[in-house]
Amino acid sequence: MPDLPPSVVGGGRRFVPQVGWQQLFELRARAFPGRTALVADDVAVSFGDLCRWSGRLANGLRAAGAVPGSVVACAMSRSVRAILAPLAVAKAGAVYLPLDPGLPPARRALILAEARPAVLLTDVPELAADADVVLTPENWRRELAARPGDGDAGTRPGDAAYVVCTSGSTGRPKGVVVGHRSLVNLYGELAARLFPAGGEPQRVAHGLPLAFDAAWNPLLWLVGGHELHLVPDDVRADPEQYVRFVRERRLDVVEAVPAQLTGLVDAGLLTAGTCPRMLLMGGEAVPPPLWTRLRATPGLTAVNLYGPTECTVFTTFCRVADQAEPAIGRPIANTSVRVVDPHDRRPVPVGEPGELLVGGASLALGYLGDAALTAERFGTAPQRWYRTGDRCRCEPDGTLRWLGRFDDQVKIRGHRVEPAEAERALLALPGVRQALVRGEDGVLVAYVVLGSGTPAALRERLAETLPEYLVPAIVEVGALPVGRTGKVDRRATRIAPRPVAMTPAETVVAAAFRSQLGVVSVAPDSDFFALGGHSLSAAALAARLRARGVPCSLRDVLRRRTVARIAELVPDIPEGGAP
């Protein structure tokens, strides 16, 4: 683009309707009231029913105290009600704050104290006592049928639409506030680039966490008239079940973070009869082997979507077929990016690395209740640019490539994590003398010097206050490495754990633990989940062990958990070799 300086790329212009995102949904519901909008709990719900129910629930929220501009916190199970909630909040003119019901109570209380919602909406029995509006599976249809539905509160494009809480280096989560205008702009991008020509309805998988900002992508496919299939929790946690779900439902579109997508591909997602028409991925860097496999799959459209939470889900777009190596592509419409020197913020020459800044319609409104941080990260009007902290390079053709971070921030299964938050929580626990937390190969690892206690006990304590993705794998060490100045060397390439003795069978399983989790310290009593494992990586571990001749299933990993218990499944090892 000749009118832009080096390493500055614009995504072009596109008209953005001056409406709230839910008004686009209402237009769709009026046009196709009988078309299936949502399949969840094995129940199909039409656009007309979803529109009516959300209007009635909006009145319930108003009666409980929601007013235009107020925050409504929603802690919902994966059910029809989870899709109903953001629609109802928007119709009430309020701001949607998704809450994971599985968060530790202390973490949930911290978020609620920061957001100060006018209403807490839930269908989770454990939270019902604290909620202003409760929708149980038994009463939600009856209660909605009894309410009138007055329609929309008249949302304006500049109003806030939702808040997503991210990790904060100060030890407190940050609330990112995104406006309706940005969401409608994102919808326009999906409609122009991804929706099929002619408007043929697609079956779209929603397998993303409900409190994840990327969960807006499948919801906007719904707004576009497509059929949304909500993937149950037990299915999304098991790649083999997920692939069967895609095959049996004949789903056309699947979106996942690269780590999960790798598991789905390994489980057979790309085989004939299973492979969807389109795969979308984002939230973290795409490994080159996955990129290559997707490029080699005939008839598949695979797309990499990049964007911080502060830039409304995704702000750049790259079709895998267009690039031989992983790239984040070019900005979406009404959005510009620039690659600058991180010190003076002047654009760097094409091909040189620098910090990526984002401007335009993608930008969030700012941080909830923190004007100073908003000004620091976004700048001030009229020329607002968000400092991503991402190290990128702009190619001569305008393609952007992600090269890493300028700070210690990492992505864990798509969640943005500040290692300092986990480190602060560790140092506050009794028995911890020193701690260093950092991201290593997509895993959050804590190296600790203990005066008392055990790594397993520390993880249990951390899990009481931190969300699961923020609880690090804990490696006990005798001392932390120091540099010439005497300060802890946070960039040390290897930190030696305490040595342990293992049987040959345990050695096989420990090697699989290390390969899967990217940790160096594994002992016979090491718990896979205490080392940072989760349901998706547990399925991958089982597959890794089966490839080595160990008859291990996902259920075995979930039940046995430790190196020693899983090693009981290892067949007799021939002399001098592994199975």
pLDDT at 225 over 90: yes
pLDDT at 576 over 80: no
Give the confidence band of 486 by pLDDT, cuts at 50, 70, 90. low
Per-residue pLDDT averaged across 402-427, rounded?
82
**What is the distance between the alpha carbons of residues 96 and 20, in angstroms, rounded to a whole number?**
13
Q: Residue 432 CB: number of other CB atoms within 10 A? A: 21
pLDDT at 441 over 80: no
Per-residue pLDDT averaged across 108-129, rounded?
91
Q: What is the CATH number that goes with domain 182-345+389-416?
A: 3.40.50.12780
> Are the CB atoms for 575 and 561 separated by under 8 Å?
no
pLDDT at 525 over 50: yes
The confidence score (pLDDT) of residue 168 equals 66
Residues in the chain: 579
Q: What is the CATH number that goes with domain 497-579?
A: 1.10.1200.10
Give the orientation angle of helix 288-295 with respect to helix 258-266, to 10 degrees: 60
Give the confidence band of 2 by pLDDT, cuts at 50, 70, 90. very low
pLDDT at 1 over 50: no
The confidence score (pLDDT) of residue 575 equals 46
pLDDT tens-digit series, residues 121-137: 999 988 988 888 888 87
Per-residue exposure over 199-236, b if at least 16 CB sit within 10 Å of its own CB, e if not: eebbbbbbbbbbbbbbbbbbbbbbbbbbbbbbbbeebb
**Torsion-angle region of residue 36: left (phi > 0), alpha (psi -120 to 50) or beta?**
beta
Give the SS3 label for residue 382: coil
Give the confidence band of 70 by pLDDT, cuts at 50, 70, 90. very high
Superfamily name and number for 418-488: ANL, C-terminal domain (3.30.300.30)
pLDDT tens-digit series, residues 328-386: 999 999 999 999 998 888 899 999 999 999 999 999 999 999 999 999 999 887 789 99
Nearest to 183 by CA among 407, 421, 18: 18
The confidence score (pLDDT) of residue 197 equals 78
**What is the distance between the alpha carbons of residues 228 and 251, in angstroms, rounded to a whole number?**
9
* Average pLDDT of the chain, as a whole number: 88
Residue 171 vs residue 533, higher pLDDT = 533
The confidence score (pLDDT) of residue 5 equals 55
The confidence score (pLDDT) of residue 6 equals 59
pTM for this predicted structure: 0.83
The confidence score (pLDDT) of residue 192 equals 93
**What is the distance between the alpha carbons of residues 244 and 162, in angstroms, rounded to a whole number?**
33
Residue extents of the structural domains in the chain: 182-345+389-416, 418-488, 497-579
pLDDT at 57 over 60: yes
pLDDT at 483 over 70: no
> Are the CB atoms for 417 and 410 separated by under 8 Å?
yes
Residue 76 vs residue 11, higher pLDDT = 76
Residue 442 vs residue 23, higher pLDDT = 23
Q: Which of these ranges, 10-19, 41-50, 198-207, has the smallest mean pLDDT?
A: 10-19
Cβ contacts of 126 within 8 Å, gap of 6 or more = 101
**Dmax (CA) of the chain:** 76
Per-residue pLDDT averaged across 375-399, rounded?
90
The confidence score (pLDDT) of residue 199 equals 76
